[in-house]
Amino acid sequence: MSEILSNSMRFNRFLAKAGLGSRRVCDDLIQRGLVTLNGGIEKNPAVQIQLEQDIVVFQGSRIQLEVHHHYYLLNKPAQVITTTNDPYGRTTIIDLIPVQDRIYPVGRLDYDTTGVILLTNDGDLAYSLTHPKFQIPKTYAVRVLGQVSQDDLERLPLGINIEAKTPAIAQVLDHSYTDRYTDVRLVLREGRKREIKRIFMALGHKVVKLHREQFAFLRVDDLALGKYRELSSTEITKLKELANGYQG
């Protein structure tokens, strides 16, 4: 059944629901003038689209709302770009999921980072799962060169300054040492760009291996690197409950 509840919708939400990307991505497309509205450039993401009469075009094709949403869970390998296409011809996560649906990643993982990532054409859910205010937990296994002191590990939940914003906060679940490395499992709830690498860089250590074990409640223990599966209806419902702040 269609999710359209009225005859108008914000420009950015319309594009997100049509499967072009999260609302952040759609804001960027609009503001760069890459989407036309009734034959002209409209750079205001908040303008109202009249669903039954306005004509929206992107890359030569008219954009219409997606009625059926699709959700995939991928165990991302290293040396794969978290994007829908790459001008340099490198492998993208879209290349690993040979489906006809227009889908895009929920958030991102670095080129050399492995593990859990979601792909969908549900722009509203993607927005909620990636926006910092929703505090969706992501669990990582991190290998760091050198011995991270106990004092520095205890600083992580208090916040590490990595930029001129609020400190980056990480919850440490456990850690262990070898002769050359410190292995740490931690949880992030914001997901800034290269956040974990920048946290340990601020402490004087280099991350040499990074794997996302879990996104919310989803894991990829049963998926080999590069493999994917569709989410079950139960998993989709639970994700939407989390995105809506349900705590039951």
Per-10-residue mean pLDDT of the chain, 248 residues long, equals 60 86 88 92 91 86 79 97 90 92 89 96 86 89 97 94 83 96 95 90 96 97 96 94 67
Which residues are tagged catalytic? 110
Give the separation between CA 72 and CA 103, rounded to whole angstroms. 9
Contacting residues for 173 by C-beta, under 8 A, at least 6 apart: 139, 185, 186, 187
Q: Which long-range contacts (CB under 8 A, 24 or more apart) does 56-64 make?
A: 56/14, 56/15, 56/18, 58/15, 58/20, 58/29, 58/34, 59/34, 63/14, 63/15, 63/18, 63/20, 63/35, 64/18
Q: What is the pLDDT of residue 248?
A: 39
Q: What is the pLDDT of residue 67?
A: 58
Amino acid at 72: Y
Q: What is the pLDDT of residue 2?
A: 39
**What pTM does this model have?**
0.76
Cα dihedral sign for 222, 19, 82, 101?
positive
Domains defined for the chain, CATH in brackets: 8-62 (3.10.290.10), 71-132+217-243 (3.30.70.580), 137-215 (3.30.70.1560)
Give the separation between CA 104 and CA 84, rounded to whole angstroms. 6
Q: What is the pLDDT of residue 164?
A: 64
Give the separation between CA 248 and CA 240, rounded to whole angstroms. 13
Give the separation between CA 227 and CA 170, rounded to whole angstroms. 28
In the block, which residue shows the tokens 């050359």?
A: 180
Q: What is the pLDDT of residue 101?
A: 78
For the chain, the 3-state helix, strand and coil shares in percent, each to the nearest 5, are 25, 30, 45
Q: What is the pLDDT of residue 6?
A: 57
